[in-house]
Homo-oligomer: A and B are copies of this chain.
Amino acid sequence: MLINVAETVVADALRGMAAAHPELTVDVENRVVVRRDAPVAGKVALVSGGGSGHEPLHGGFVGPGMLSAACPGEVFTSPVPDQMVRAAAAVDSGAGVLFVVKNYTGDVLNFDMAAELAEDEGIQVAKVLIDDDVAVTDSLYTAGRRGTGATLFVEKIAGAAAEEGQPLERVAALASRINENSRSFGVALSACTTPAKGSPTFDLPAGELELGIGIHGEPGRERRAMMTSGEIAEAAVDAILADFQPRNPVLLLVNGMGATPLLELYGFHGEVQRVLAARGVAVARVLVGNYVTSLDMAGASVTLCQVDEEVLRLWDAPVRTPGLRWGM
């Protein structure tokens, strides 16, 4: 691993992020990443966070048109309420704060506690819980479905709504609707290596893959002998469509878990498009890349989000973050 020691990995990364992105305010000691112009008068603020190791999520999605602040925890470990309250206080303009919370037990508990503490300080807080992963209910890290790729859609689309001045209630309702209209399914072709452990987090022999993996490498639905890119695309799309049949066109995220080369990811995207076309699902917009990762895990996930014209307009709205940028 390209690190100094495991204990300083997150602090080291934040220092490096601060030096790379002068448009962000990075509080290395307290572990809060804030867009520099926050609080923005009259604007609802979006705050997210979670364990580190999924970069660019969430710190890389802080900026105009997306998150107001992010709280990185230790690797694969929830941030603490103090970080979230500090972030909320730094970005609240009086218009309130939306917490975007992936459904992992630690994150949920800590954001709940932070919401109470922030409200005690007079900050109006709403929450949205992201639980788009159709692979398993109840896993190593959470009760219910896990939150994964839909987080990007929620942060982008609700972020655009907040940027144009929509009130907290509407931004929160929109965020919930985006989550409800999103589904994900992922596969792992290798385990990932956490700095603390220094070796793969689980044993996945070469020539096998894990269908329905979580973003921490937690077990999925099934271990199988290696499949082709086309077969994996079919398995992922069909698992999603078995749970949710989009009536409208979709946003499509084909997301790399970290170590899968872009060359392979584009090829996989082509297969996903082929399967979607065969199943009659129209694709309105596409994003292919490493956005919600799991350190150096090889593999990919597919996320669909059913959209209408209003949501598509918000998706297309300008965004300027380290990880996602267009229109400015």
Residues of A within 8 A of B (CB): 1-5, 8-10, 12-20, 52-53, 55-56, 60, 75, 189, 228-230, 232, 254, 258-271, 273, 286-288, 290, 293, 295-296, 298-300, 325-328
Contact = CB atoms under 8 A, between A and B. Distances in A.
Contacts of A56: 262
Contact of A261 (B232, B260, B263, B295): B295
B2 A296 contact: no
A267 B229 contact: no
A229 B262 contact: no
A2 B298 contact: yes
Given A19-B269, A269-B20, A260 B2 contact: yes
Contacts of A14: 266
Contacts of A13: 263-264, 266-267, 270
A20 B252 CA distance: 10
Contacts of A53: 261, 263
A296 to B, nearest CB: 5
B189 A288 contact: no
Contacts of A258: 259, 261
Contacts of A9: 263-264, 267
A184 to B, nearest CB: 16
The 4 closest A-B pairs by CB, nearest first: A16-B270, A12-B267, A16-B266, A259-B259
28 contacts: A1-B189, A1-B298, A2-B260, A2-B265, A2-B298, A3-B229, A4-B228, A4-B229, A4-B230, A8-B267, A12-B229, A12-B266, A12-B271, A14-B266, A15-B267, A16-B268, A17-B266, A20-B254, A20-B266, A20-B269, A20-B286, A53-B261, A75-B263, A258-B259, A258-B261, A259-B298, A261-B296, A262-B290
A282 to B, nearest CB: 13
Contacts of A20: 254, 266, 269, 286-288
Contacts of A10: 263
Nearest to A60: B262
A17 B262 CA distance: 10
Contacts of A230: 4
Most chain B beta-carbon neighbours within 10 Å: one of A15, A18, A262: A262
Most chain B C-beta atoms within 10 Å of own C-beta, residue among A229, A265, A286: A229
A326 to B, nearest CB: 6
A232 B263 CA distance: 28
Contacts of A12: 229, 266-267, 270-271
B267 A16 contact: yes
A14 B293 CA distance: 23
A232 B10 CA distance: 18
B264 A3 contact: yes
Contact of A288 (B3, B16, B264, B266): B16
Nearest to A206: B199
B3 A267 contact: yes
Nearest to A298: B296
